[in-house]
A = this chain, B = another copy of it.
Amino acid sequence: MLLRMDFASETPIYLQIRNQVVQGIASGALQPGERLPTIRALADESGINMMTVNKAYQLLKQEGYIETDRRSGAKVAGGVRLEPGGLAPRSREALRLIASEAKIAGLSEDQFLQLCAKAYTSGEEERP
């Protein structure tokens, strides 16, 4: 599980970390219970400020994706169930917006759902 930062991107670095961890969990690259690198370690090897990495970990913890143990550091949470409805309201809203863009771009519902299915299955099986 190697993080790749894009310092020229408009999405903040702490969010890039958060997003990559989330996708790592979803893809199976990060297994439940697996230990994440130390804040210091990750900061050093990526050239990122420790404050930034800390912010990302705080966010991931708050969202329930990881758990932090004072002794052993951070590890991937097991059996995460975040929202009762299944998806955070913010993500629902983002999904509605993307659907609107797709509709304007001329995609039919079927075509859009194919893209969605592709997005769902794309991150799978990175560990063969």
| Given A8-B67, A106-B86, also A123-B99 (CB < 8 A) | yes
Against B, the Cβ 8 Å flags (1 = close, 0 = not) of A82-124 are: 1100111001101111111111111101011101110111110
Interface size class of A (residues with CB under 8 A): 35 or more
Q: Is the CB of B23 within 8 A of A100?
A: yes
How many of these chains are in the complex?
4
Q: Is the CB of B70 within 8 A of A86?
A: no
List B contacts of A115 (CB < 8 A): 86-87, 92, 95
List B contacts of A97 (CB < 8 A): 19, 22-23
Q: Quick check: is A26 within 8 A (CB to CB) of the other chain? A: yes
Q: Is the CB of B81 within 8 A of A87?
A: no
Chain A interface helix/strand/loop/mixed: helix
Q: Is the CB of A91 within 8 A of B101?
A: yes
Which residues of A in the span 1-37 have a Cβ within 8 Å of any Cβ on B?
7-9, 12-13, 19, 22-23, 25-27
Q: Is the CB of B86 within 8 A of A103?
A: no
